[in-house]
Structure 1
Amino acid sequence: MTDTVRIVQFYPVELGITGDRGNVRSLQVRLERAGVPVEVFRVGIGDPIPADSDILVFGNGPLSAMRIVAGDLRSRAAELEVFVESGRSLFSIGASAELLSEGVDLLDGEKLEGLGLFPFRVARTRERNVGYIIADTPGGRVIGFEDHASRWTLGPDAVAVGEVVAGKGSFARGDGAGEIVRRGEAYASNVQGPALPLNPRWTDAILGATTARRGISWRLGAAHEKLDEYAEGARAAIEHLVHSKDFRTIGL
């Protein structure tokens, strides 16, 4: 195994509609600016997962796209379970997070079977939550955009990461709302934007875990400062909007 980190984007055509390639680019560019070589692969329906993959990225899409990829994704259930159990990194947003859950209960009564990779179940709702979201996590504040019509019910073994301070979030947490479920180094969330360019500390947590597992030397430096500056500017603008008295979360 070389020092090259291998990043895989799953179903970029069907599940890549909310800037999901930006999550891949964020991981790739931050590694490259630290001098770590990177290979990026796109895996579509029927394509094999490249050997020795380090990070899997799953994006978002409509219900029609979920139906298209569901069968292929289920055929990979055992392989993905081994991947997550081995401590490798996985990042899933929106529709893909739902498919990796225990299942999705649709409004017409249909139940869409999930892989059970994450211990929560999804119920689609008639209320659509659209707007900025801010959640406090042990690794820092996560900021982004949410656009979903679903609520997650977490199982007893689910690890809830974030406490929502603005926006609706994905699930109930105490008297408030929560966002992001974690299993080992795998994450499921509804934070879009895309999320990783807006949240460098989250990106770096994923990269830190990946490089540590591989024994690769990786650290932040001057080459990352401009990226962080851009992210901080966008985050500050969002926080200003959220805390403005004129701001309202959009409900459709």
Structure 2
Amino acid sequence: MTSGRTLRIAHLYPELLNLYGDSGNILVLKSRMAWRGIEPQVMEVHVDDRPSFSGVDIVFIGGGSDREQKIVCDKLLAEQVELKAYVEDGGVLGAVCGGYQLLGESYLMGDEKVPGLELVDLYTDRGEPRLIGNIAVESRISPQPIVGYENHGGRTHLGPGVEPMGKVLYGHGNDGASGYEGCLYKNVVGTYVHGPLLPKNPGVADYLIARALDRKYGNGELEPLDDAEELAANKVMYDRLMAGEVEE
């Protein structure tokens, strides 16, 4: 039984940006919608496609290697005007790791400065060593700490008008120095947390769904689900990290 509501998800370049099991994030969004009677419609955007973001409610960009990230950025730069308009109109966008780096003014691939999509006021340079390991983040978008894994050489720096996704409780985050992780801008969520992100953090999935429902239907209230297993797994990971019981 459905509620008559539908949400259309644009999954960008899944054949290239699935380095950390990012397709699992789409499965979580679909399931959590369907369990509430919301019909999920997933549109996969492939390399040879010319996507339109008209009628799209959630855009998802996963992570990939430097080579794959560059291919995707070149493709999306051709759609930058429409994608920027989508973001400025309150369109929901989730971006993980390499996808997060694409959101800004530029990022470094080796020593090459590569133009980004300029959707959010941020930029990414590089540093040593790579920031690798488990991570826990306190964020207003999730009732529970956001947990996962990070593995990035990039250091992402936010502009003055961009809110971090949250405060690092364990791990490195955006740059290993500021104490912050990810970005929030309008209805954009960018983060280095993967593993994949949403199965471990149902609160983040529900945030994206609720923002999309509010934009489309004017009501983002969600019926609660039985998340006992997901929240137990989240808590075990968080407790182990904070107790220093997890080896990197």
- TM-score between the two structures when normalised by the length of structure 1: 0.89
Other-structure match for 2:95: 92
- Aligned-residue offset at 1:237: 2.2
**How many residues were matched structurally?**
241
Counterparts of 1:245 and 1:34 in 2: how far apart (Å)? Answer: 37
CA apart distance, 1:194: 1.2
Aligned to 2:10: 8
Taking the aligned partners of 2:158 and 2:6, their CA distance within structure 1 comes to 36
Instruction: Indicate whether 1:170 and 2:174 are aligned.
Output: yes
1:202 Cα deviation from its structure 2 partner: 1.5
Deviation at 1:142, TM superposition (A): 1.3
Q: Aligned equivalents of 2:208 and 2:71: distance in 1? A: 29
Q: How far apart are 1:119 and its partner, in Å?
A: 1.0
Are 1:101 and 2:109 counterparts?
Answer: no
Superposed counterparts of 1:58-97, under 5 Å: 58-97=61-100
One-letter code aligned to 1:53:
V
CA contact (8 A) 2:28 2:199 kept: yes
Q: Distance in 2 between matches of 1:16 and 1:147?
A: 14
Taking the aligned partners of 2:223 and 2:175, their CA distance within structure 1 comes to: 33
TM-aligned CA deviation for residue 71 of structure 1:
1.3
Is contact 1:7–1:57 with CA below 8 Å preserved after alignment? yes
For the residue of structure 2 that corresponds to 1:126, the secondary structure is: strand
Q: Separation in 1 of the partners of 2:128 and 2:179?
A: 18
Deviates more, 1:53-62 or 1:127-136: 127-136
What is the CA–CA distance in structure 2 between the aligned matches of 1:245 and 1:43, rounded to whole Å? 41
User: What is the match of residue 125 of structure 2?
Assistant: 123
Q: What is the TM-score with the length of structure 2 in the denominator?
A: 0.90
Cα distance in 1, alignment partners of residues 229 and 21 from structure 2: 17
In structure 2, distance between residues paired with 1:201 and 1:70: 29
* Equivalent residue for 1:52, pick from 52, 55, 58: 55
> 1:36 maps to which residue?
38
Would you say 1:244 and 2:243 are equivalent positions?
yes
Quickly say closer, same or farther: Cα 1:120–1:210, change in 2 above 3 A. Answer: same
Unaligned runs of 5+ in 1: none
Partners of 1:154 and 1:171 within 8 A in 2? no
8 Å contact 1:3–1:216 — kept in the other structure? no
CA RMSD of aligned residues (A): 1.9
- Contact 2:108/2:154 (CA < 8 Å) preserved in 1? no
The 1-side partners of 2:164 and 2:243 are apart by 28
For 1:70 and 1:247, the matched residues in 2 are separated by 35
Percent of aligned positions with the same letter in both sequences?
A: 27
Within the candidate set 156, 160, 163, 1:159 is matched to 163
Structure 1 residue 177, shift from structure 2 partner:
1.1
Whole-angstrom distance in 2 between the partners of 1:18 and 1:92: 13
Alignment partners' CA distance in 2, 1:28 and 1:245: 34
